[in-house]
Amino acid sequence: MDDSKKSENTYIIENRHLSEQAAKRKHALETDPSVRTNHMEYMKGMEIINSDVCKKVMSEVEGYDYGSYTAKDVISALEHEKCTIEDFKALLSPAAEPFLEQMAQKARLETRKHFGNSVYLFTPLYIANYCENYCVYCGFNCYNDIRRMKLSMEQIEKEMEVIAKSGMEEILILTGESRAKSDVKYIGEACKLARKYFRMVGLEIYPVNTDEYRYLHECGADYVTVFQETYDTVKYEQLHLAGHKRVWPYRFDSQERALMGGMRGVAFSALLGLSDFRKDALASALHLYFLQRKYPHAEMSLSCPRLRPIINNDKINPLDVHEKQLCQVLCAYRIFLPFAGITVSSRESKSFRDGIVKIAATKVSAGVSTGIGDHESKYTGKDSGAEEGDEQFEINDSRSLETMYRDIENQGLQPVMNDYLYV
């Protein structure tokens, strides 16, 4: 990013109302593709690792014609003891929709075989919502008129104290994607604080280089989650108009750089509804599949979020992905990747999450807030009087940890706060 663009982005994120210059820049990005940078070219400072994983994944996705699969293919896939890539493609196809009950039964058996009755619980903590990217579907994007905020270390610790008192033992630290406002050192200090209160610390931040992931791991981070958003490079270019996030291949290799940097685990996800959800689901699972074979020691998991409403949303019309289709994807994930964790977030409804943990999901969030600095008011019901930043998106399931824990137990399952011991 050149200096003029960098300074403009810095201005944008520090001022809620756009300057005339910034408004013109925004309009140009939306209407004139020629002013955008090449989304397949690395920017200065981005590490290139020359991995073969991307080529393997995209080769399978490009050749995927899900309309060519038949009921016979689906039945054959369900009969196989081990699910191949071809079987998985059949299970994601429209031909599998009439077999959802059979898929759910097989998925449930695989889940119980490898995870027992356990359901893991965690909560996210957003520590900043400044962002230098223009992603048209995201509430944090640099041109969106929202209240921006970055928590101080004192505020972060206060939020963590409140969350820890609820009984939570795993936390996922999130920021907007702004190195200027939330640099690696700031995130590292937050990880060090988290280690005082939690047994497991995850990160969902902007992609960084291997040495930076190594530093964050040394500060206390256990795993890294990165949303590729969509693996469709054409659609990706249309949705990510500015900022470092625009560089598709650098984002794709994030999980591998994290593992090279010593992270114990990584998580993968596409945001279903941005493009063809069947191809994005295929790509997400194969991304994990090929990396798992390259790094067999690592813990890997998948998320399966759908688009949710955001503040001032007028630029994106999500492709419909209904609950039945989401359930199909999750069951196919479990059958194809029996050892992988599967997380279902608070984007989904209470009824859907209660159902899917009995079939395929192994991890759910509880006590969720996607705003900045509001855990005290939401957890205690008391107005702290502190300034708060706007949320990234609207959640659907707002259950507290206590309620979620009880509801999981009432279904005959075992809620788990942490299963990792440091020696």
Phi, psi of 34 (to 5 degrees): -70, -20
What's the pLDDT band for 320 if we cut at 50, 70, 90? confident
Domains of the chain (ranges; CATH) run 3-416 (3.20.20.70)
Percent of the chain clearing pLDDT 70 (strictly above)? 87
- In the chain, count of helices (H) and strands (E)? 17, 11
Burial of 117 (0-12, 13-18, 19+ CB in 10 A): middle
Token pair listed for 78: 């369900």
Helix or strand or coil: residue 322?
A: coil
CB count within 10 Å of CB 196 equals 11
pLDDT averaged over every residue in the chain = 90
Q: From CA 125, how far away is CA 369, in angstroms rounded?
A: 7
Token pair listed for 117: 């009755």
Helix or strand or coil: residue 283?
A: helix
Digit-coded pLDDT (tens) for 263-289: 999 999 999 989 999 999 999 999 999
Q: From CA 378, how far away is CA 395, in angstroms rounded?
A: 13
Q: From CA 112, how far away is CA 209, in angstroms rounded?
A: 37
pTM > 0.85? yes
The whole-number average pLDDT for the span 159-176 is 96
Q: What length does the chain have?
A: 423
Percent of the chain clearing pLDDT 90 (strictly above)? 76
CA atoms within 13 A on the CB side of 81: 0
